[in-house]
């Protein structure tokens, strides 16, 4: 879903990307039960990978480290 957002939206302001993320990406991740009970390290890495990719779409924070 993040690739679709990246491909189809040229305005990459924080407000636009956050709204798209909250409406289209987060509901998919909240649907899956392992997200809320991250028992395995791999599950945690997958969730953080999606969040990391979403933050790289925002122009103003693209060059910052993920934890910042």
Phi, psi angle pair for 37, to nearest 5°: -125, 80
67 in a structural domain: no
Per-residue pLDDT of the chain (68 residues; tens, 9 = 90+): 788 888 888 888 888 888 888 888 887 776 665 555 667 777 778 778 888 888 888 877 777 776 66
Q: Which two tokens stand for residue 8?
A: 């189809």
37 in a structural domain: yes
In the numeric block, the tokens 């969040």 are attached to 51
68 in a structural domain: no
pLDDT digits (tens, 9 = 90+) for 11-30: 888 888 888 888 888 877 76
Note down the domain range covering 16: 2-61
User: d(Cα 35, Cα 8) in Å, to the nearest integer?
Assistant: 27
Q: Which two tokens stand for residue 12?
A: 């990459």
45 in a structural domain: yes
Q: Which two tokens stand for residue 14?
A: 């924080």
pTM over 0.85: no
36 in a structural domain: yes
46 in a structural domain: yes
9 in a structural domain: yes
Number of structural domains, the chain?
Answer: 1
Are 22 and 15 spatial neighbours (Cβ–Cβ below 8 Å)? no
């Amino acid at each position: 879903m993040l690739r679709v957002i990246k491909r189809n939206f040229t305005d990459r302001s924080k407000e636009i990307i956050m709204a798209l993320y909250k409406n289209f990406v987060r509901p998919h991740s909240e649907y899956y039960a392992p997200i809320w009970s991250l028992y395995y390290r791999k599950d945690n890495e997958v969730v953080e990978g999606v969040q990391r990719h979403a933050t790289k779409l925002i122009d103003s924070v693209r060059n910052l480290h993920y934890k910042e």
